[in-house]
Amino acid sequence: MGPRHRRSRRSAPQGCWALVALKAPGQGKQRLAGVLCAEQRQALIEHMTAHVLAVLRACPDIVGIAVTSPQPVTGDLLWIPDTLGELNASLLDAARQLSRQGVRELLVLHADLPWLASDDVGALVAAGRLCGMALAADRHGRGTNALYTRLPMRIDLAFGPDSAARHLGLAAALGLTAARVDRPGLAFDVDEPDELRLLGPWPRALPLPASAGAIASSAPTSTAPHCDPRNDPPNSAPRSLTWHPTLPIRPAAPI
């Protein structure tokens, strides 16, 4: 990507922008602390974040990418400092800043979607443009992994447990229509050890001490596990496994 293209992605307000929230290094994926050491958790975060950003860059529906985080980001990304420290408050603050800069379409999505593809992003944006709002739930149908909205935003963001129902309820209370888009690339995130195992074999990505061995299932959660090469960040995973059939796009419909 040349310098001219980087500037155009960063400055053009027209079209759909993507917004991603990142935690400070060492703060993410705490629910995996029982199976991954701190270095592996950070490597996994960086691996998945790089994948999501690459997909967003390749998607023709996305004209700019903003990141809200405590630490600066570089390159073609627009950094919006996170001074609030709470996910929904930080995302809402970033959305308001983008709205003031003239952005009128926003796709908020998590950075832990290792199966995300450009057509997944395009499907969600298309459904959102048709209805005015669209979301993609996680594979359990409860959390929200991505949400398309027009700006200025009319609903409060409610990412977290059972957020899909909350987002749909908030939209309905305002008389807004919404679409739900179900695709494996949008549904599969990595928060729990069982989701980690679904990624399959991982290449060795970190140097290991000579004593590193298999993670003991009985190890206390307060004790950091050894780095096990079987748990290193994955290569691109297949887009369909037995746990989840390939899902069609659910037609946009009023809620």
Higher local confidence (pLDDT), 51 or 216: 51
Higher local confidence (pLDDT), 42 or 129: 129
52 falls within a domain: yes
Nearest residue to 149 via CA among 248, 16, 255, 53? 16
Nearest residue to 135 via CA among 113, 114, 166? 166
pLDDT band at 28 (very low <50, low <70, confident <90, very high): low
Residue 152, preceding bond cis, omega within 30 degrees?
yes
Query: With contact defined as beta carbons under 8 Å apart, do 59 and 118 qualify?
Result: yes
pLDDT band at 44 (very low <50, low <70, confident <90, very high): confident
Higher local confidence (pLDDT), 233 or 254: 233
178 falls within a domain: yes
73 falls within a domain: yes
Nearest residue to 218 via CA among 41, 35, 32? 35
Stretch 164-190: mean pLDDT, rounded? 90
Rounded CA gap, 140 and 132, in Å? 24
Tally of CB atoms within 10 A around 209: 8
9 falls within a domain: yes
What is the number of domains present in the chain?
A: 1
236 falls within a domain: no
205 falls within a domain: no
215 falls within a domain: no
Residue 67: give its domain's CATH number: 3.90.550.10
Range of the domain at 151: 3-187
Which stretch, 71-85, 116-130, 182-196, has highest mean pLDDT?
Answer: 116-130
Residue ranges of alpha helices (H) inside 12-136 are 38-58, 87-100, 118-131
43 falls within a domain: yes
pLDDT at 104: 95
Query: Does residue 76 surpass a pLDDT of 80?
Result: yes
Query: With contact defined as beta carbons under 8 Å apart, do 116 and 55 qualify?
Result: yes
Rounded CA gap, 57 and 234, in Å? 21
